Amino acid sequence: MPSSAPAAPGFHAPWWLAGAHAQTVYGSIAAPAPGVDLRRERWDTPDGDFVDVDFLDGPSGSPWIHLFHGLEGSSRSRYARTIMAHARGLGWRGSVLHFRGCSGEMNRLPRAYHSGDTNEIDWVLRRVRSIAGGARLFAVGVSLGGNALAKWLGEAGESARVIVDRAATVCAPFDLMAAGDALGRGFGLVYSRHFLATLKKTAFAKLERHPGLFDAAAVRRAQTLRDFDNVVTAPLHGFRDTDDYWTRASAKPWLASIAVPTLLVNSRDDPFLPESALPTEREVSAAVKLEFTRKGGHVGYVSGPFPGNIDWLPRRIFHFLEHSA
């Protein structure tokens, strides 16, 4: 019999190290995330661009976990290193896709990446499956990557089962309209301003390579992710405006069509997505397991005595992938 799932994090750390502030505060004072040696490959995409993929090598035939990172994330993100370190400890293989422009080098085409980029998810997972061969292949998506993965799982339905065996998402903003509005007020603005600093820098670099691509002055004026998506993300990826993008790219309407056993981990105090917007049992398929913790913030999940640890999240993910319970 499989061991029971890890209990929800107890959050014995000080109050200011938990909840919505966890990732921001923890990242600045806690011990560094584990270092993992990864091997990088560059893949040319079907449309003439490229993506960089980092690999965790391991024994032939061992299970394989593939990670899709969050907005402006990478294989260097704390959660990515923690998950890959856990995989290494189990003797698994792994890989981390860098969405276009997130590996440290500007991509070739005007387009970048977005929350509903399921064509990219599909192409990458099919290629990873061809490399993994007959080994068990698991897909995990964090935040933006979690929404895109969940949307792909729903769109693909039963056909996804021939590509991935199980999947998990962490703090995915399934309702992008609710998430975007939340990030435009209160503590959410702290995150928005952090992201906007790097998003604007990348946008101006794109303008140097592709003059006239969008309105530079409007980018400078952007104060929220809604503003930025309206000027840059939406038009670059075929959406009319922010409302069209956030509506069509949201994974929530597709959760009822997921056929692959999938764990959705979210925290009820996540500043990225109000608790009222979390999916209910009626909105997901029987293949989906919902796990909503009381605390955790946005990919924080800090627990234990000071300065805390983030061991619960990888243990919970891998337990589900191994036991689907």
Q: Is residue 312's pLDDT more than 90? A: no
Going by pLDDT thresholds of 50, 70 and 90, the confidence category of residue 131 is: very high
Query: How far apart are alpha carbons 19 and 28 in whole angstroms?
Result: 15
Across 42-70, average pLDDT: 97
Could you give the residue numbers annotated as active site? 143, 270, 298
Burial of 94-121, coded b for 16+ CB within 10 Å and e otherwise, reads: bbbbbbbbbbeeebebebbbbbbbbebb
Residue of higher predicted confidence among 10 and 275: 275
Q: Which residue has the tokens 């309206």?
A: 230
Across 255-283, average pLDDT: 96
Across 309-325, average pLDDT: 86
Specify whether the CB–CB gap between 98 and 75 falls below 8 A: yes
Q: Who contacts 260 (Cβ-Cβ below 8 Å, separation ≥6)?
A: 153, 160, 161, 164, 165, 166, 167, 287
CATH class of the region 15-175+251-323 = alpha beta
Query: How far apart are alpha carbons 63 and 166 in whole angstroms?
Result: 11
pLDDT of residue 11: 44
Alpha carbon separation from 43 to 57, 68, 98, 179, 209 (Å, rounded) = 17, 15, 11, 32, 21
Q: What is the dihedral of CA 56, 83, 100, 126, to 10 degrees?
A: 60
Q: HSE-up of 121 (CA within 13 Å, CB side)?
A: 28
Specify whether the CB–CB gap between 224 and 192 falls below 8 A: yes
Backbone angles phi, psi at 192, to 5 degrees: -55, -45
Q: Is residue 233's pLDDT more than 50? A: yes
Specify whether the CB–CB gap between 61 and 100 falls below 8 A: no
Across 97-116, average pLDDT: 97
Q: Per mean pLDDT, which range of 23-27, 104-108, 220-224 is the poorest?
A: 23-27
pLDDT of residue 310: 77
CATH 3.40.50.1820 in the chain, residue ranges: 15-175+251-323
Going by pLDDT thresholds of 50, 70 and 90, the confidence category of residue 248 is: very high
Burial of 267-288, coded b for 16+ CB within 10 Å and e otherwise, reads: bebbbbbbeebbbeeeebbebb
The type of residue at 210 is H
Q: Is residue 316's pLDDT more than 80? A: yes
Residue of higher predicted confidence among 3 and 58: 58
Number of H helices, E strands in the chain: 11, 8
Q: Per mean pLDDT, which range of 30-39, 123-132, 200-209 is the poorest?
A: 30-39
Going by pLDDT thresholds of 50, 70 and 90, the confidence category of residue 187 is: confident
Going by pLDDT thresholds of 50, 70 and 90, the confidence category of residue 16 is: very low
Q: Per mean pLDDT, which range of 6-20, 64-78, 272-286 is the poorest?
A: 6-20
